[in-house]
Amino acid sequence: MLAVGTVVWLASELMFFSGLFAAWFLLRSVAEPGAWPPAGVELEPLRTGLATVVLVASSLSMHAATRAAEHGDARSARRWVVVTIAAGGAFLANQGLEYAGFEFTLTSHAYGSIFYLMTGFHGLHVLGGLGLMAAIAGVGSGRTKASLAEGLTVTEYYWHFVDVVWIAMFLTVYIL
């Protein structure tokens, strides 16, 4: 039941992010030719591309954590969760550095508004996923010795979803 509930919830999250993508493309379509992005907006596609590779690689470590838990190896599962948390943290650190270097803000123009909304909400989802991973690993290593497998399985669903959304967002915002 937990897996079914998670998939239904992720479907609602898909609708949320679909709305953000729709807003991006609408704003882009009504912008003056050559004004998207506006003057003064300098993104870092190479650095963010490297951070994207780190985030995608974290899906592999999350998968390894889940498989280890399914095979009863809680110690290895926790180690893979720590690797995943570190990779997700590196991704968020890059996002913070990127934000700090921008000369535009949420209120500078429509581009700034939708850019920060899309990437900011995604960043919050990454942060939430990292917290969920830490909580599940903590419970699994506590006195209860609860199985990590079910919790990590649904967390893996969520983490893969967050990664796929980011790939689409990176391609939309930084490449197109």
Average pLDDT of span 92-101: 97
Q: How far apart are CA 45 and CA 157, in angstroms?
A: 27
pLDDT at 166: 98
**Coil, helix or strand at residue 24:** helix
Note the pLDDT tens digit of each residue in 159-170: 999 999 999 999
Distance of alpha carbon 57 from alpha carbon 171, whole angstroms:
17
* Residues 22-33, mean pLDDT to the nearest whole number: 95
pTM, whole model, 2 decimals?
0.91
Q: Could you tell me if 80 and 65 are in contact, meaning their C-beta atoms sit under 8 angstroms apart?
A: yes
Q: What is the pLDDT of residue 163?
A: 97
Q: What is the pLDDT of residue 22?
A: 98
pLDDT computed for residue 140 by the predictor: 67
Q: How many residues does the chain have?
A: 176
Q: pLDDT band for 2, please (50, 70, 90 cuts).
A: confident
pLDDT digits (tens, 9 = 90+) for 106-135: 999 999 999 999 999 999 999 999 999 999
Estimate to the nearest angstrom the gap between the alpha carbon of 35 and the chain centroid. Answer: 28
Tell me the average pLDDT of the chain: 93
Other residues' Cβ atoms within 10 Å of the Cβ of residue 60: 14
Q: What's the burial of 146, exposed, middle or buried (CB within 10 Å: 0-12/13-18/19+)? A: middle
| Packing angle of the helix pair 45-70, 110-140 (nearest 10 deg) | 20
- Fold held by 2-31+45-175: Four Helix Bundle (Hemerythrin (Met), subunit A) (1.20.120)
Higher pLDDT, 140 or 148: 148
Question: Does residue 138 carry a pLDDT above 90?
Answer: no
Determine the Cα–Cα distance for residues 13 and 2; give it in Å rounded to an integer.
16
The 10s digit of each residue's pLDDT in 42-92 is 999 999 999 999 999 999 999 999 999 999 998 999 999 999 999 999 999
